[in-house]
Structure 1
Amino acid sequence: MSKNKYIIGLCLGVALVAPNGFAAKVTPKAVVEHYTDMIHAVYDDALTTAKTLDEKIALFLKEPSEKTLADARLAWKAARVPYQQSETFRFGNKVIDDWEGSLNAWPLDEGLIDYVDTSHYQFEQGNAGATANIIASKTLTIGTETIDTSKLTPELLAGLNEIGGSEANVATGYHAIEFLLWGQDLNGTGKGAGERPFSDYIQTDDGCTNGKVKAGSKLTCERRAEYLRTLSTLLISQLSEMTTLWAKEGAARKELLATDPTTGLRTILFGMGSLSLGELAGERMKVALIANSTEDEHDCFSDNTHNSHFYNGLGIQNVYLGKYKTVAGKTLTGASLAELVAAKNAKLDKDMQAKFADSMAKLQAIVDSAEKKGVAFDQLIAADNAEGNTMIKQAIDSLVAQTHALEKVAEALGVKELNPDTADHTF
């Protein structure tokens, strides 16, 4: 579907004009309808960027080099931009939350997939899959179960997620692709990301490597290439499925629009609050900060964590304002929570928007630290980096304050006891 179609005729808020010339009043129903338009637009962009990533991976595998690997890495980072903005849709929409883990689960025990430097490898205690190395073996044994992994199909790899009952066994998704493009980040809280060499994909006996050592056989690099190619194919398939579910006649869109508008508002606000509080402030920032743990960093192989956090925050703000900037540079606008709130309590809307401005400024400071000063998230959380720790803590505090404001917004809109997911964190 053309992105222009999203822009034309979907501005259900300010763009609708009543016969008397005054702007039509925004309704909860219109807000929920526009929310479904935004979901589709964001997933459509995630799909578009995943296809570009797939093209860059194909070029890299055809001709491994420093340049083609760098191009694939850049495409991976670009693909994260729309996807991270989609995560605000997760928690209120079960169809998304049940599906999300196969695309974005983390942290992962990377020894399930490929070779690791054991001197820098921390894995979940008791996880039998943590040293399985699927690429180096054509069978996988977990407990009493032995699985034929000789052919790395999308169905096989998807079925290996959480094998043996361990959530750390992540075989698919963005972070598995990230690991195969960057390799382990062996720098701890020091400067630098993963440095997997392009030679890990050279499919000749004398060229194929496992990092700094010769692999001894091109079969290893052929398997690694097959794994990466399969992950990319699977990612496109999964995003295609979700994009279809939220298209104009999609089942997920129809189901949400069939609910009472107040229930729809709860879905929207619960997703925003849960990402803001339990997931982003808690799981993705607080856990890593308290433990000074790079293993709990979100994009730990690429050191792209600052961008992932920023776009999570932007996704929440997008929904409140009813605006989304597509990867094509168009801006989708429509009936918004902001308009609903302002109509009931202009001061509350002003406070909510101030909270968003503050949280985005704090997240932008983390981006600036990485992009302008060369001090990435994994360095900011180091035990001896007091200034960095404070920067992360301030971002967490701003997200907590933002969530409290969202609870007031929910109350004003008739959504009682929002209770966003805390992921068992206290703030």
Structure 2
Amino acid sequence: MKSIRQIVSAALLGGMLCAAPLMVSAETVTAKAVMENYVNLASANFSDTLAAVTVLQEKVDAFIATPNADTQQAAKDAWLAARKPYSQTEAFRFGNPNVDEWEGQVNAWPLDEGLIDYVKTDTYDHEEGNKFATANIIAGTDKIDAELLKASQEKGGSEANVATGYHAIEFLLWGQDFNEDPTDTGKRPHTDYAKGDACTNGNCERRAEYLKAATDLLLADMQQMADDWTDGKAGNYRSAFLELDEKEALRRMLFGMGSLSLGELAGERMNVALLAHSQEDEHSCFSDNTHNDIAENARSIQNIFNGTYTRTDGTKVAGASLAQLVAAKDAKASETLVSKLADTQQKAEAIVEAAKNGENFDQQITPDNKDGNKRIKATIAALRSQTGDIEAAAKAVGVDSLNPESSDSFGG
């Protein structure tokens, strides 16, 4: 039977992880130990996200107080930094109801941005039949606060009416991306938040109120989720998870991995945009950060199986892992999945590398970009393939019929 040191080295992670957990052989790892490490990973990951969103709030406040190009860029940089740890939390979502029920308020997309603010109507693509697609809350008279934003979320029953979370804030910082230059992001002027006569596009004070309310709400949501996973808080989700039947806990871990891998990341977040060749369907379309979203989502799945997480300060969290637990039952199943997760990560990083060289995700999905399409398809195929191995890993530890969430968007 292979030890976890051998298995993890196959994923090119050997030497990066804390030595102590790797000294434990796969045969001695228990489901309870894996559960303990899982909640520790979640706690560290959501804690990092909370810290990053706290910085985002500080930078947004500074931008609102003194709106200029530098303070706007600092707020944008903070938003991008806050996306990285958050995107690595997403494999905790589907199997854990506390995360799944909460996620819509923090990460809903794509959005009909005309619900929130002005748009360039001749290039505005919104959901057909959405009567609030041009409601323009910022141009209205209702008091802008967290309650209004929450009440406007999915207004009229339309999922395109996104009023809260990361992507509402993204739109308010970047504005629409018209792709006049393929390497451009949105070009919202900082003067959209200026005082007095320097204000552009009207309603600058209300726009600032909206940005402030949305950012404060995101921070409150992150605090709630960090608290849910913190050790020592009586009655929180962490303590409830640790009381679960072991098989149910393992099912939740693996179901979260499989559902993010197949239906969400391979399907909704990649294949939909590729098949439609549509910028409107990419995840972070205003900032062109979609390539990083994809890579960090893939890493989220890998983190949970390998039982590791690299914190934003560079320190490592590591412990008893699903990889070890599966290896004790079926060494080949564990080794194969570790290898496939590493391969998927490598393919996702190729999308990131292309973006760093000026070819953002929205350019990689255009119909005439054969190399870009090939890159995206390879990552989708790798995600689909690894999902089958996640199901095999589940069976090895006694979890039958995992049935991860799939997507109707698999064609082509």
TM range (shorter): over 0.9
Q: Are 2:160 and 1:160 equivalent residues in the alignment?
A: no
1:207 aligned residue (161, 176, 198): 198
Q: State whether residues 57 and 229 of structure 1, in contact with CA within 8 Å, keep that contact through their aligned partners in structure 2.
A: yes
Match of 1:356 among 327, 334, 341: 341
Counterpart of 2:215? Answer: 232
Q: 1:12 to 1:40 in 2, by over 3 A?
A: farther
1:415 aligns with 2:393: no
Matching residue of 1:79: 82
Rounded Cα–Cα distance in structure 1 between residues aligned with 2:334 and 2:153? 42
Q: Say yes or no: does 1:101 pair with 2:84.
A: no
Flag the 1:395–1:188 CA change in 2: closer, same or farther, 3 A. Answer: farther
Letter in 1 for 2:378: Q
- Contact 1:323–1:333, Cα closer than 8 Å, also in 2: yes
User: What's 1:318 paired with?
Assistant: 303
Report the CA distance between 1:23 and its aligned residue.
9.0
The AA in structure 2 aligned to 1:77 is L
Question: How do 1:37-56 residues align onto structure 2 when only pairs under 5 Å count?
Answer: 37-56=40-59
Equivalences for 1:116-135 in 2 at 5 Å?
A: 116-135=119-138
Given candidates 215, 228, 241, the residue that maps to 1:245 is 228
Q: Contact between 1:84 and 1:311, CA under 8 Å: does it hold in 2?
A: yes
Tell me the secondary structure at the aligned position of residue 317 of structure 2. strand
Partner of 2:188: 196
**1:344 Cα deviation (Å)?**
2.0
In 1, distance between residues paired with 2:68 and 2:383?
41
| Map of 2:15 onto structure 1 | none
CA RMSD between the two structures: 1.7
For the 8 Å contact 1:106–1:170, the answer to whether it is kept is: yes
Relative to structure 2, which stretch is displaced further, 287-296 or 255-264?
A: 255-264
Which of 105, 111, 117 is matched with 1:114 structurally?
A: 117
Cα displacement (A) at 1:203: 1.5
Is contact 1:188-1:294 (8 Å) kept?
no
1:273 and 2:223 correspond: no
Which residue of the partner structure matches residue 4 of structure 2? Answer: none
Q: 1:401 aligns with which of 361, 364, 385?
A: 385
Scaled by the length of structure 1, the TM-score of the pair is 0.89
Contact 1:13/1:25 (CA < 8 Å) preserved in 2? no
Shift of 1:425: 3.9
Provide the residue aligned with 2:365 in structure 1.
381
1:14 paired residue number: 21
Matched letter for residue 345 of structure 2: M
Alignment correspondent of 1:299: 284
TM-score, with length taken from structure 2: 0.92
> Aligned partners of 1:169, 1:72: CA distance in 2, in Å?
24
Q: Which residue of 1 aligns with 2:10?
A: none
Corresponding residue SS for 1:92: coil
**Rounded Cα–Cα distance in structure 2 between residues aligned with 1:93 and 1:13:** 28
Contact 2:26–2:324 at 8 Å: present in 1 too?
Answer: no
| Letter paired with 1:203 | K
Task: Describe the SS at the equivalent of 1:83.
Answer: helix
Q: Distance in 1 between matches of 2:248 and 2:394?
A: 11
Aligned to 1:7: none
Match of 1:340 among 299, 316, 325: 325
Distance across 1 between alignment mates of 2:263 and 2:367: 23
Amino acid of the structure 1 residue aligned with 2:104: G
Quote the Cα distance in structure 2 between the aligned partners of 1:185 and 1:342: 47
Inter-CA distance 304–394: structure 2 relative to 1 (3 Å threshold): same
Q: For 1:17-54, what per-residue CA distance to the aligned partner results, in whole angstroms no more than 9, with x for missing partners?
A: 7xxxx898110111112111111111111110000001
- The answer to whether the 8 Å contact 1:129/1:169 transfers is yes
Q: Which one-letter code corresponds to 1:412 in the other structure?
A: A
Runs of 4+ residues over 6 Å off in structure 1: none
**How many corresponding residue pairs?**
392
Query: What's 1:331 paired with?
Result: 316
Shift of 1:157: 0.7
Distance across 1 between alignment mates of 2:82 and 2:158:
27
Q: Structure 1: how far apart are the matches of 2:137 and 2:67?
A: 21
What percentage of residue pairs aligned between the two structures are identical?
52
Report the alpha carbon displacement of residue 67 of structure 1 after superposing the two structures with TM: 1.0
Partners of 1:326 and 1:24 lie apart in 2 by 28
Q: Which has the higher contact order (CA 8 A, sep 6+)?
A: 2
Match of 2:68 among 65, 69, 75: 65
Q: Which residue of 2 aligns with 1:367?
A: 352
C-alpha displacement at 1:423, in angstroms? 2.5
Aligned mates of 2:147, 2:314 — CA distance in 1:
35
How far is the alpha carbon of 1:189 from its aligned partner?
A: 8.9
Q: Could you list the runs of 5+ residues in structure 2 that have no partner in the other structure?
A: 1-17
Structure 1 counterpart of 2:11 = none
Cα pair 2:95 2:255 within 8 Å, conserved: yes
Compute the displacement of 1:176 (Å): 0.2
CA distance in 1, matches of 2:82, 2:276: 29
